[in-house]
Amino acid sequence: MELGLEGKVALVAAASRGLGYAVARALAAEGVRVSIVSRDGARIQEAARRIRDETAADVLAIAADIRSADAIAEWVKRTRERLGGVDLLFTNAGGPPAGTFESLTDDKVWYDAFDLLVLSAVRMVRAAIPLMRERGGGSMVLSTSAAVKEPSPNLTLSNVVRASVAALSKTLADEHAKDGIRVNQLIPGRIDTDRVRELDGIRAERSGISVEEVKQRSAAQIPLGRYGDPSEFARAAVFLLSDAASYITGASMQVDGGRLRSVF
Ligand code: NAD
């Protein structure tokens, strides 16, 4: 299958590890020049070095907090200066704090979650659209969570706030098809990353069982019987971003081993 990705430029957010890193690496392996961002300077440079070593791709690494509008604008500006433009965008962010509804008594945590998950995506998209238009089109993947379809216990902020990103993805697909920009939502579920290990640790503490037991019980709920590998999620992102998905926009794709049971 021809992906048509060679030589394109991608912005990949929250990419020092986990899903973002896997997507950046998989794009780089297809000949994409990637611009990656996350907060910690040393970690994002290390991620870039690993991707360069493994793929020989051109990688720009920027340390920035994606909750800051200025930081996102600067990231995109530097990407344009150094890599000449933008064709592809993968939005992503760290997860918000866990907690039940009643534990979240301070309004600030709600605003913080909105900044982290929704406004970061809004600002990345806003900065990328004019650059994609200049290139005659582009492709975006907005990464969310299985929680947009099935709220997860003790993840109230994620359950409520990420739904906005799902709606944003669908709205953008409709408004920007005329610009040749495709927009799709990618839904991870139980992909084995630091975030999932952290959440399993919290569940283990709350229920008084070992982390291994939590993982076994969780995997037993998944038809494929295991957690996913970040590279499996990344392959779906690469496909949706590529020309091979040229007639796919406004779609939501799950990469969850079959865990979500709803028909759509
Ligand atoms: P992770 O914790 O392994 O990685 C998160 C990445 O985000 C890191 O590179 C971190 O440095 C970066 N980051 C965090 N906050 C940032 C900020 N303010 N500015 C810039 N970079 C920031 O998490 P992951 O498993 O890769 O998940 C990525 C997102 O997908 C999270 O929001 C997570 O909740 C969500 N998610 C993951 C899964 C899964 O199965 N892994 C399932 C559902 C949802």
> What digits encode the pLDDT tens for the residues 41-71?
999 999 999 999 999 999 999 999 999 999 9
Q: Averaged over 217-240, what is the pLDDT?
A: 98
Domain boundaries, the chain: 9-191+229-255, 193-227
For a mutational test of ligand 1's pocket, the pick from 193, 203, 214, 260, i.e. the residue with the most ligand atoms closer than 8 A to its C-beta, is 193
Output the pTM of the full model: 0.98
Question: Domain 9-191+229-255 maps to which CATH number in 3.40.50.720, 3.40.50.1370, 3.40.47.10, 3.20.20.330?
Answer: 3.40.50.720
Q: Name the closest-CA residue to atom 15, ligand 1.
A: 94
Task: Give the model's pLDDT for residue 47.
Answer: 98
- Counting from 1 in the atom list of ligand 1, the atom nearest the Cα of 195 is 2
Residue ranges around ligand 1 (CB below 6 Å): 14-20, 38-39, 65-67, 92-95, 116, 143, 145-146, 188-191, 193-196
- d(CA 221, ligand 1 centre) in Å: 22
Instruction: Please compute the mean of the pLDDT values over residues 19-47 and round it to a whole number.
Output: 98
Taking the CA of residue 230 as reference, the ligand 1 atom at the shortest distance is: 41
> Over the chain, what HEC string results?
CCCCCCCCEEEEECCCCHHHHHHHHHHHHCCCEEEEEECCHHHHHHHHHHHHHHHCCCEEEEECCCCCHHHHHHHHHHHHHHHCCCCEEEECCCCCCCECHHHCCCHHHHHHHHHHHHHHHHHHHHHHHHHHHHCCCEEEEEECCHHHCCCCCCEHHHHHHHHHHHHHHHHHHHHHHHHCEEEEEEEECCECCHHHHHHHHHHHHHHCCCHHHHHHHHHHCCCCCCCECHHHHHHHHHHHHCHHHCCCCCCEEEECCCCCCCCC
pLDDT of residue 83: 98
